[in-house]
Amino acid sequence: MVRCSSNNKPWINPDIKALLKEKKRAFKSGNKEGLRTAQKKLRRKIRRAKAAYRRRMEQQLQNQNISGPMSPWHFIMKDAVWHHSCRSNDILSSSQNHLPDEGPVVETLLYMVWKWGSLSGSTTTAERRFSNSKRNRQWPRQVWEGIRAITDYKRRSPPPSADSPTLAEDLNLFYARFDRDNTDPVLPPLPTTGLAPVLSMHEVRRAFCSINTRKAAGPDGVLGRVLKDCAAELADVFTSIFNISFSCSLVPACFKAATIVPLPKQPNVTCLNDFRPVALTSIPAKCLERLVIKHIKAALPLSLDPHQFAYRENRSTEDAIATVLHTLLEHLEHKNTYARLLFVDYSSAFNTIRPYKLRPKLHQLGLNTTLCNWIVDFLTNRTQSVRVGKNISSTLVVNTGAPQGCVLSPLLYTLYTHDCLASSASNLIVKFADDTTVLGLITNNDEANYRREVQHLESWCHNNNLVLNTKKTKEIVVDFRRRGHTDHQPLFIGKDVVERVQSFKFLGVTVTEDLSWGDHISKAVGKAQQRLYYLRKLKSAHISRPLMVNFYNCAISSVLTYGFLVWFSSCSKADQQALQRVVKAAGRIIGTTLPGISTIFSTRCLRRVHNILRDQHHPAHHLFHLLPSGRRYRSIQARTSRLANSLYPQAVRLLNSAPLTSLPPSHGQ
């Protein structure tokens, strides 16, 4: 009997396994003629199996847009959902001041959905039931898994060791440590002054249809594939539950439960802080959070916190870095100036949000009281447990923080920190989620405003329950003055001295004190050259050219061009040639001509600038002034080559040299 294990290569089949056994028997028996014959058959069989697997992957990639028949789940769920929709109608007709029997109704419904989802038995049976529709959604991933199987690219890191039976309990107490000092009083609900958000069945159905079925289920065990394939039948009853939750400003308890799965931040774990807490929450709750986000964003002013670059449309890490560098370089154009960059690190920033301090900020931003009360209830009395392997900790009730895994958590954190602003015009605070950078522009050696800014930030963190991690907070001093200006006084946060470094990885880009990009580019080139090995393995497996180009774009080009717009125009010719050599090597392996590195920069730069010009609230929008002729933009004046070669002056030159048909419409300067 021949068996194929799950860890075999995907092209291994029973015939190849049988030939392997035949070869082994011939070797042990000393039959040289039989061994040569078995080896010859085995090589031929493996070559044919690899070719068949390659053709199957390519065919799947070409056919991934073919639609399949309607899933059988649409017919299976009707009776159960009809029964629970009757129960939800009873809820709708009851008092609006409380949520009657919400626990049994919601939990029973989730149990029914989970029960029907488990009817399919094994994964193989479920795949047969979903047939073409499920297979079409998985084909791109199957192709990528096939590429990984061929190249051994990015092997999965092992889960944390569960040798210690107390690890789960210790981690649970560690993640809830900020809740121990929370002595805030219980917040009474704000009086209702506006209409509660009302969701339509169409919105809920669309939210269910957009579920990523590969996401893990939460503590309720409801699978995303069940909600997605039964969206039409489940939308009605869940719409009723969601709207009742809004009108009463109460969140069902089962929507506030989380199972935390710790993931190692680094290969060698030395302490509890080396585990990243990833919370698995209910998938229906995540759908509700996505719908809530739309109502929250609709109530926020467009100009809110312009220097927060995370979780916002038309913002990226490149924008954050470019804003800091352009402000710094403009300041260095003047005489007797330098700058200090403070890269702030917080300890578990998302776990420090307190509803008592968040609600006044939300109300001040214009959210109606019903939504404010709903968010407060969402963050209070949350239950959490930690799962490490087969060990599960006890359940704790927490009233501090937003779990890393909730859809709402990033937005709530940005709203919680939106009032963290610079107090002086000579300073700039730039944020990307919880990564905060303080830029101090120093003139005539007067650092008073900068040091007051750091003290103000320290005080703000204390008032808002954020903990500054002074061991990971670093500082860079950028000073190009020639003589007698190298001795800078150290910076203190409390009683701790902030370490001054020569380089720092700022949002994935290595920034040095001399603003050179050699370190960053050499690391990127080295990493990309290592990945050329996987491209050669694809070539030896006779993978088609389009698939190899896709692999190059995903695994190699993305490394070479990360933060591309910020540093490419300022780097040396030698660095640009090093980047181009990697591109040419990849092109030779694939057997095609890939776009040159300079061409990629020009294309991306023009596209980025056009997006900035269409966004009047972008921090760089004011840098582009259309001349009275309406054909060209005013050049950004620069005394030094450092500023002249940076992103925004280079972008203006590209705009002015581009054809008139490619220029964006006038934006009313």
Instruction: Write the pLDDT tens digit of every residue in 442-486.
Output: 999 999 999 999 999 999 999 998 999 999 999 999 999 876 666
What is the pLDDT, as a whole number, of residue 636? 92
| CA separation for the pair 597, 586 (Å, rounded) | 12
Q: Which residue has the tokens 């703000």?
A: 460
Query: Cβ(331)–Cβ(479) under 8 Å?
Result: no
Integer Cα distance of 510 and 136 in angstroms: 40
- And the tokens for 131? 């047939």
Assign 245 a pLDDT band (cuts: 50, 70, 90).
Answer: very high
Token readout for 617 is 């609230």
* Residue 311 zone, left/alpha/beta (φ > 0; ψ -120 to 50; rest): left
> For the segment 51-96, what is each residue's pLDDT rounded down to a tens digit?
887 777 666 655 544 333 333 333 333 333 334 444 444 433 333 4
Tens digit of each residue's pLDDT (9 = 90 or more) over 346-371: 988 888 899 999 999 999 998 889 99
Close Cβ partners of 537 (under 8 Å, ≥ 6 residues apart): 150, 151, 152
Q: Which two tokens stand for residue 2?
A: 């021949």
Mean pLDDT over each residue of the chain, to the nearest integer: 83
What per-residue string of b and e applies to 606-620 under the rule 16 or more CB within 10 Å gives b? bebbbbbbebeebbb
Please write down the HEC assignment for all residues of 489-535: CCCEECCEECEECCEEEECCEEEECCCCCHHHHHHHHHHHHHHHHHH
Instruction: Name residues whose C-beta falls within 8 Å of residue 555's C-beta, 6 or more positions apart in sequence.
Output: 153, 531, 534, 535
SS3 at position 192: coil
Residue given tokens 């889960």 in the structure block = 159
Q: Which of 215, 350, 190, 369 is nearest to 285 (CA)?
A: 215
CA distance linking residue 667 with residue 129, whole number of Å: 54
Q: What's the CA gap between 442 and 481, in Å, rounded? A: 12
CB 290 within 8 A of CB 310: no
SS3 state at 321: helix
Coil, helix or strand for 605? Answer: helix
Per-residue pLDDT band for 274 (boundaries 50, 70, 90) equals confident
Q: Is the pLDDT of residue 414 over 60?
A: yes
User: How far, in Å, CA of 399 to CA of 169, rounded?
Assistant: 18
The helix (run of H) or strand (run of E) holding residue 279 is strand 275-281
Mean pLDDT in residue range 645-668: 76
Give me the pLDDT at residue 112, please: 53
SS3 309: coil
What is the structure's pLDDT at 99? 47
pLDDT-derived band at 126 (thresholds 50, 70, 90) equals very low
CA-only gyration radius of the chain, Å? 29
* Confidence bin at 273 (pLDDT 50/70/90): confident
Q: First and final CA of the chain: distance in angstroms?
A: 78
Q: How far is CA 369 from the centre of its chain?
A: 30
pLDDT of residue 7: 61
Residue 203 in tokens: 């919105």
Position 596 scores a pLDDT of 93
Contact 627, 616 (CB under 8 A): no
Burial (0-12, 13-18, 19+ Cβ within 10 Å), 536: middle
Q: For residue 633, give both structure tokens.
A: 């933009």
Residue 306 buriedness (CB in 10 A; 0-12 / 13-18 / 19+)? middle
Cβ neighbours of residue 215 under 8 Å, at least 6 residues apart?
224, 283
Of the candidates 475, 401, 465, 403, the residue with the CA atom closest to the CA atom of residue 436: 475
Rounded Cα distance, 143 and 220, in Å: 31
- Do the Cβ atoms of 199 and 302 come closer than 8 Å? no
Query: Does the CA dihedral 12-13-15-17 come out positive or negative?
Result: positive
Helix (H) or strand (E) holding 131: helix 123-151
Nearest to 286 by CA among 196, 378, 200, 358: 378
The residue whose two tokens read 């400003």 is: 249
pLDDT of 544:
84
pLDDT at 498 exceeding the cut of 50: yes
**Helical segments of 365-517, H only:** 369-379, 409-416, 448-463
The structure tokens listed for 24 are 């082994």
Residues above pLDDT 90, as percent of the chain = 49
Does the predicted TM-score (pTM) go above 0.75?
Answer: yes
CA distance 429 to 111: 48
Nearest to 365 by CA among 293, 306, 297, 300: 300
Q: What confidence score (pLDDT) does residue 113 get?
A: 56
Rounded CA-CA distance 424/449 in Å is 7
CB 556 within 8 A of CB 595: no
The pLDDT score that the predictor gives to residue 266 is 79
Spatial CA neighbour of 544 closest among 513, 576, 590: 590
